[in-house]
Amino acid sequence: MPELPEVETFRSQVDLEVYNKQVCEIKTSKLMPVLGSINLTKSAAGKKLTKALRFGKYLFIQFEDETTNLVLHFGMSGSLKFNFNGQDQLDQTPDKDQIPQIRSVRKHTHLTLLFADNSTLSYINPRRFGLIMACTNSEVDGIISKLGPDALSEDLNVKYLQGMFKNRTAPIKTVLLDQKVIAGLGNIYVTEILYSSHISPFNPAHLLTDIQIKLILKNIRKILNSAIENRGSTLTDKGYSDLLSKNGDFQKFHNCYGRQGLPCKICKTNIAKALIANRGTYYCPRCQKY
């Protein structure tokens, strides 16, 4: 978390709020330094942000020189925040019960771009499993080349999935989570995709029928697009909110993820939970037999 819909929400909001803003100062963190071949402080200072792109769970922010790229990966707990007045939106006189959350946000901010109009864009990551890089266009191409097709790309089609699944004996859930197979899917959306497809997450990928593969592809597109329209999923831990610190809404439409012990919305059998590759896996034992 964040997965493709959450990163796509960041991307579209960066395009809307930050396009053409000029960077006047860059603040970094020693705990999570900026990697890559380019010195971000020198290369980006004084330049405008002109484009935000996404591939899988990566966000690529390009500057006006068209050769400097800020690459962000959010890992398990990363987020991106835009503030109009140069301060974190939570940095106000708070209620007492809000103070720990505010301190946490300040402590875990690892990159801040300060713009000429005094607004800021900040990368926050408490667990520091993500990535901050400043790199060239060819290095961006190198990152993308190690990934499978983006989950919403036309390159992801039935023929491709047939080829990727045919020799895979691992559970279909494990295969769908592999970023070298499909870029962008994570635990939440794979759970929802398999539930909507009536496919067991334990089913070995090579045993899937053509009909099941077509269902998976159909539900990848349907569920991801719906999640994007709802600005992603904010779970009970409140780990994700969008660029303007507003919660996503797609969790309201989760049919399976996080519903252990609750009745299946189709057959009323209680949703079960198990571990697959050390990932919490929710499924309906009746609707997802095969």
* Distance separating alpha carbons of residues 185 and 219, to the nearest angstrom: 12
SS3 242: coil
Which of these, 204, 153, 209, lies nearest to 182 by C-alpha position? 153
CB 12 within 8 A of CB 97: no
Alpha carbon separation from 7 to 31, 38, 104, 272 (Å, rounded): 23, 23, 21, 29
The answer to whether domain 4-145 and domain 158-283 are alike in fold is: no
Closest CA to 282 of 179, 212, 190: 190
Measured between its terminal Cα atoms, the distance across the chain in Å is 27
pLDDT at position 288 is 98
Q: Is the pLDDT of residue 99 over 90?
A: no
Mean of the pLDDT values across residues 15-19? 96
By CB neighbour count within 10 A (0-12 exposed, 13-18 middle, 19+ buried), where does 266 fall?
Answer: middle
Query: What CATH code is assigned to 4-145?
Result: 3.20.190.10
Over residues 45-77, the pLDDT tens digits come to 999 999 999 999 999 999 999 999 999 999 999
Kindly report the CATH number that applies to the domain delimited by 158-283.
Answer: 1.10.8.50
Please check the confidence at residue 257 and state whether its pLDDT lies above 80: yes
Query: Cα–Cα distance between 283 and 215 in angstroms, integer?
Result: 17
Active site residue 3: yes
Q: Is 279 a catalytic residue?
A: yes
**Residue in 47, 128, 214, 279 annotated catalytic:** 279
Residue 18 has pLDDT above 70, yes or no: yes
Q: Where are the domains of the chain?
A: 4-145, 158-283
Prior bond of 2 cis (ω within 30°): yes
At 86 the pLDDT is 67
In the DSSP assignment, the letter for residue 34 is -
CB atoms within 10 A of CB 99: 11
Per annotation, catalytic residue among 11, 57, 81, 259: 57
Active site (annotated) includes residue 222? no
CB 69 within 8 A of CB 142: no
The model's pTM is 0.92
pLDDT band at 261 (very low <50, low <70, confident <90, very high): very high
| H helix count then E strand count, the chain | 8, 10
* Closest C-alpha to 4, from 280, 242, 227, 251: 227
Active site residue 192: no
pLDDT at 252 over 90: yes
Residue 264 has which token pair? 């299946």
Q: What is the pLDDT of residues 163-214, one digit of tens each?
A: 999 999 999 999 999 999 999 999 999 999 999 999 999 999 999 999 999 9
Q: Beta strands 58-63 and 69-73: pairing type?
A: antiparallel
